[in-house]
Amino acid sequence: LFKVDKFAEAYEKGKRLIADFEEHRKTVAPPFSETCLRLEKYDEASTALVEIEGAEEHKDIYNYVKGMVAYQQGDNNLALEHFAKLKSGFRPDVATTMFWIYLYKYQMGIYILMLAMLFPAIKTGKEMLSTWKSNRLLNKIEKIKETGTYEENMAFLQERFDREDVPNTKQVALMLAEAVLRTGNPQRAYELVSALLKKDNRNPNARRIAGEACLLLEDTSPTGLEHIQGLLKIDETRKDVINYLAQTYIRQQADHKMAQDFILKAISINPNDSDAVVFLADTYIRRQSYSQQSLKIIERAIKAAPEVPAYYEAIIENFHRLDNPQEAEKWRETAAAKFPTEPAFSGQPRKSSRQKPLTPASPDMPDYENIGNTPQGGMPDYESIGNTSPGSMPDYESIGNDTPGGMPDYENIGNNSPGGFPDYENIGTTKGGFPDYENIGNDAPPPDLSFKPTPKPVAPISGPQKPCPHCNAPNATREYYCTTCGKPLAG
């Protein structure tokens, strides 16, 4: 019954045989104990083994059952001790039981070994997963950049910017700034690119977005105006930028060279802008800046405000400065007819302001080297200046004094009327007018302002180079803007 796996029947019959037939107990005990083992009746199996304990012919079955009972009761060391006494291959389940005993015995070490082997694998797996996700995000970002669909993907760009889970966070920040700028939030766009410009203030895309944002915000601060001016490096024909800068400088009453240039450009775009014309004309007059350009502006100012005498005075002065007294006289006559009560237009025609060149020892200039020097080219005789007795000390008290020994008549020095005050107004001039300072001792023509010095040679570029997409001039790869035309090297 045991051999055909009828363990329940074998158990009943074996139990009855052991109880009723004492003389057959040693014969029945081995199969009965193994039957009890199969039926998990470990206590009865141990009791049956008492009958064959120490019997040489039954030692294998004894050690087998004893070891299996010990294993089931948790005594692994005792189980291994009995299994060690069995002959090889006695029962097939012995090897399996021993494996689980050893596994349990060394499970902690095995777990540690498995974890040690698992950690590199986990790390490699995480890196592969991270690389896959990163590549996927980068591909999507590149697609957004190529298609220009910033607004549609703003939520995605904002999430990438907040999480910083892509390698090139600067590119994400620029794309997000572009998106918020296009959707009508220039303040947020300016904040994003300002953080980038603090780290890289030459980034052309960041400077462009900052300029567009400042233009929309109508920023009139020095930094904001600088960003807006940077837009002209990208597109120098931007009329909106030129007009905004011109109007801003007019409101600020700025008269520096840059302000004049932008206002002049704005006038060239819109010649009918009388406010810009009048402001620039006033600037030229206030700064006494007269040229062919100022002549055109002042003439436009006269057309825009024909009732202002100051513009007529300025155009007359401008023609004189340009050595055109004929036109100056025509304008003076026109102004005198229009403003008969204005004294500025009732005087005589003014002489040309051209100056003659100075020549050494000319009649126009004193011969300073020979003052007080009798031998031509020698040193002055300082001791004898003002001294009538050669070799003695000068009579300082009598210099300028007609009465020897008295004090000089300071009141009448330069005064033709003795006893009166000197005629200070006419000293160095003719009859009542102001001295002609411009023509005193100078008949030379004005300097040639069109002369330009030869520029110094530029040192050759060292290292890797890239051509400018606008003028094809070579530039170092570290440059953001072309050193020849000033335009950005990248879009």
| Mean pLDDT for all residues in the chain | 77
What is residue 262's predicted lDDT score, i.e. its pLDDT? 94
| Top-confidence residue, 48 or 373 | 48
Mean per-residue pLDDT for 303-332? 94
d(Cα 419, Cα 415) in Å, to the nearest integer? 8
State yes or no: pLDDT of 284 exceeds 50: yes
Structure tokens at 82: 């009995």
Contact 193/174 with Cβ under 8 angstroms? yes
Nearest Cα to Cα of residue 47 among 32, 64, 60: 32
What is residue 352's predicted lDDT score, i.e. its pLDDT? 46
Length of the chain: 491
370-418 pLDDT, tens per residue? 444 444 444 555 444 455 544 445 554 544 455 554 555 545 554 554 4
What is residue 244's predicted lDDT score, i.e. its pLDDT? 95
d(Cα 149, Cα 141) in Å, to the nearest integer? 10
d(Cα 356, Cα 446) in Å, to the nearest integer? 9
Handedness of CA 468, 474, 480, 486 (dihedral sign): negative
Mean per-residue pLDDT for 318-344? 92
| Top-confidence residue, 2 or 223 | 223
State yes or no: pLDDT of 269 exceeds 90: yes
Reported as half-sphere exposure (CB side, CA atoms, 13 A), residue 124 has a value of 5
What is residue 475's predicted lDDT score, i.e. its pLDDT? 83
d(Cα 189, Cα 191) in Å, to the nearest integer? 5
What is residue 4's predicted lDDT score, i.e. its pLDDT? 54
Contact 353/438 with Cβ under 8 angstroms? yes
Residues with Cβ within 8 Å of 136's Cβ and at least 6 positions away in sequence, in order, are: none
Model's pTM, two decimal places?
0.48
What are the angstrom distances between the C-alpha of 468 and each of 54, 207, 463, 472?
103, 19, 16, 4
| Top-confidence residue, 452 or 316 | 316
Nearest Cα to Cα of residue 67 among 84, 88, 89: 84
Q: To which residue do tokens 């948790």 refer? A: 74
What is residue 356's predicted lDDT score, i.e. its pLDDT? 39
Nearest Cα to Cα of residue 45 among 71, 6, 77, 80: 71
State yes or no: pLDDT of 228 exceeds 80: yes
What is residue 448's predicted lDDT score, i.e. its pLDDT? 54
112-128 pLDDT, tens per residue? 777 777 778 788 888 88
Percent of the chain with pLDDT over 90: 32
Check residue 476 and report its DSSP letter. Answer: E
Q: How confident is the model at residue 242 (pLDDT cuts 50, 70, 90)?
A: very high
User: Hey, is 57 helix, strand or coil?
Assistant: helix
| Top-confidence residue, 316 or 434 | 316
Q: How confident is the model at residue 446 (pLDDT cuts 50, 70, 90)?
A: low
What is residue 464's predicted lDDT score, i.e. its pLDDT? 74
148-205 pLDDT, tens per residue? 888 888 888 888 888 887 888 888 899 999 999 999 999 999 999 999 999 888 899 9
State yes or no: pLDDT of 353 exceeds 50: no
Mean per-residue pLDDT for 7-14? 74
Contact 65/32 with Cβ under 8 angstroms? no
